[in-house]
Amino acid sequence: MLKKNIIIGLVTFIIGFGVTFYIIRTYFPKHKVEKTTTTVEDTITKPQ
């Protein structure tokens, strides 16, 4: 029963993540998404 619940939770998480990713890709332009990812990478790589 516990293993079944873990599998159901994992599948639900993957489906939810996929739907969220699809909605973001649909509603936001691609260049805007790329711009946000580069700024995040810059903040991570730059020494503080």
The domain in which residue 20 lies consists of: 2-45
Confidence (pTM): 0.44
Is residue 33 within 8 A of residue 24, CB to CB? The reply is: yes
Angle subtended by helix axes 2-27 and 30-45, to nearest 10 = 110
Is residue 25 within 8 A of residue 32, CB to CB? The reply is: no
For residue 9, what are its two tokens?
Answer: 């939770």
- Which residue did the predictor score with more confidence, 35 or 2? 2
Percent of all residues in the chain with a pLDDT value above 70, rounded to a whole number: 58
- Given a cut of 70, whether residue 4 has pLDDT beyond it is yes
- Which residue did the predictor score with more confidence, 25 or 35? 25
For the four alpha carbons of 18, 19, 23 and 24, in that order, the dihedral sign comes to negative
Calculate the CA 15 to chain-centre distance. 11
Mean pLDDT computed over every residue of the chain: 76
Domain count, the chain: 1
